[in-house]
Structure 1
């Protein structure tokens, strides 16, 4: 069960408290419901949106909120999208963004994680308008998560923790290029440094991404992963596509999707980021490979 904690005690980033407005009545608060959403561009930052719907007969403003669960610590306001005073009119919907707290992973390395059946969040709302509203009131509202976003984030976080307990994975700071069978390919490195006293971690597969494909297609597996025994994998790649917007709008294509077993138990995919210098090398390689002007 997801139980949210109170977060805001004063007025949010909005207008002054209006003297003619009181706190939010219970019968109004009871007509608020929320939906948890997460866009793909927010996966890496572990940011989720809490969208609140107002089915009462009273106009409100939405000032912010907080999310907490048995599986995650207290959520926090994001610096890139801070809380704003949003009109939450009768029949309307408005949302706010929070970064998930630290995951609370189950003991052992089973590769399985649970999820809460009942979700709750606290939201801070007030009666009135953005420029003239009453005292901020923190209320608890039910939350639906039909997309399973919390369960996915929990699985990813716990897999990352399990893998990191046995090996430190990092992409190298640069890419090199070489000619193979009449084609220029790029080669990136992935270091896999064992953690002293940690579990046995074996990389079983590394997928391509929206930007890069393993040479020959499919995924890196088998002989392509033999280098992990020495702690360094060299992965030859070509661009997945050559359209400009694939690079200009990309948010996840430089992350390596790594599948691994921890003490023989398969884990959820772990995404290993690429350093900025290597990103520059990659983008230059794609531009040359695709013959961009």
Structure 2
């Protein structure tokens, strides 16, 4: 029996609707929930990854054959979106080798708890795999807590490093922390600023936090705090390989919730600080 054109069109539409839409580069079938035997995947954040807010997916090929790795994506409820590889493309892992794929972390999502299990989805030898992944160094919980605390702080006060004054060798330089209340409801207490791998605040003494002891309310006036600086170490490689030497960790409490935030020197100020340390220590260009 010959079906009318309308019926044929309806059947075609029904069949089309039943086929799944697959994102580009993710294969044509449902992702596997298991890695091939001999393949291990972990998530890690190294010191060099902290400032650019990146992490690395480490893929170990313990098989006897080379592996092709395409798209790599990390998903976690504490992140506002997926963390995807910084450099798109495909990578080849020889047998017995490890591949580190750097991924860019999106902003945090602050309406969820600090604890969760991340998942990594990757294209492996043309097929898709999605599995829970171990955060080897446990960087995600403190990252989430720290950045959410900073987000809450920013609603009450703007913190910024606004000036740097170098000094001759043997003398103290300084950096200025500017604190400007926004006028929004809430309270902030700035307890102390920790020493960095490069800088400390008291010469010829063990590195220790520098007290701030500043309270901020909606009625507070803006304040500028001069923080003394002196190089903590004079090894040339400390400057040459600097990762966190100009990132200042501040102990804060926002509406009674205590924690730490990171405040980085702006790029131009960071460059001047590194030059000053080299000159102060006697190994600069002169």
TM-score range, shorter chain: 0.7 to 0.9
Name stretches of at least 5 consecutive residues in structure 1 with no aligned partner.
1-5, 13-21, 108-112, 127-135
Do residues 261 (structure 1) and 253 (structure 2) align? Answer: yes
SS of aligned partner of 1:165: helix
> For residue 115 of structure 1, what is the aligned residue in structure 2?
115
2:234 paired residue among 226, 233, 242: 242
* Pair 1:278-2:253 in alignment: no
Shift of the 185–143 alpha-carbon distance from structure 1 to 2, 3 Å rule, reads same
What is the Cα deviation at residue 178 of structure 1? 7.8
Tell me whether 1:88 sits opposite 2:96 in the alignment: no
Distance 2:133 2:249 in 1: 30
> Structure 2 residue aligned with 1:60, among 54, 67, 75?
67
How much does 1:57 deviate? 6.3
For residue 174 of structure 1, give the secondary structure of its aligned residue in structure 2. Answer: strand
Larger Rg: 2
Unaligned runs of 5+ in 2: 1-20
Shift of 1:202: 1.2
For 1:147, the equivalent position in structure 2 comes to 137
Are the aligned partners of 1:36 and 1:50 in contact in 2 as well (CA < 8 Å)? yes
SS of the residue corresponding to residue 242 of structure 2 reads: coil
- Higher RCO, 1 vs 2 (CA within 8 Å, ≥6 residues apart): 1
What per-residue deviation string (whole Å, max 9, x for no partner) do you get for residues 111-134 of structure 1?
Answer: xx4211x432110122xxxxxxxx
Closer, same or farther: CA 103–200 of 1 in aligned 2, 3 Å: same
| Alignment partner of 1:290 out of 272, 281, 284 | 281
Alpha-carbon contact 2:67-2:124 (below 8 Å) kept? yes
Query: Aligned Cα RMSD in Å?
Result: 3.4
Asked if residue 221 in structure 1 is aligned to residue 211 in structure 2, the reply is yes
| Number of the residue aligned with 1:47 | 54
Change (3 A) 1:88 1:28: farther
Q: Which residue of the partner structure matches residue 101 of structure 1? A: 106
Equivalent residue number for residue 193 of structure 1:
180
Partner of 2:171, secondary structure, is strand
Alignment-derived partner of residue 16 in structure 1? none
Change (3 A) 1:254 1:8: farther
Native 8 Å contact 2:33 2:129 kept in 1:
no
Contact 1:206/1:256 (<8 A) preserved: yes
What is the Cα deviation at residue 278 of structure 1?
Answer: 2.2
Task: Work out whether residues 176 and 186 of structure 1, in 8 Å CA contact, stay in contact via their aligned partners in 2.
Answer: yes
Go from structure 1 to structure 2 and tell me whether the alpha carbon gap of 1:27 and 1:196 turns closer, same or farther (over 3 Å shift).
closer
Query: 1:212 aligns to what?
Result: 199
Change (3 A) 1:142 1:33: farther
Structure 1-normalised TM-score? Answer: 0.75
State TM-score, norm by structure 2.
0.77
Identify the residue that residue 124 of structure 2 maps to in structure 1.
Answer: 125
Q: Supply the distance in 2 between the matched residues of 1:7 and 1:23 (Cα, whole angstroms).
A: 8
Task: Verify the 8 A CA contact 2:85 2:101 in the aligned structure 1.
Answer: no
Secondary structure of 1:209's counterpart equals coil
Give the 3-state SS of the residue equivalent to 2:167 in structure 1.
strand
> Contact 2:239–2:278 at 8 Å: present in 1 too?
no
Is the partner of 2:88 in helix, strand or coil? coil
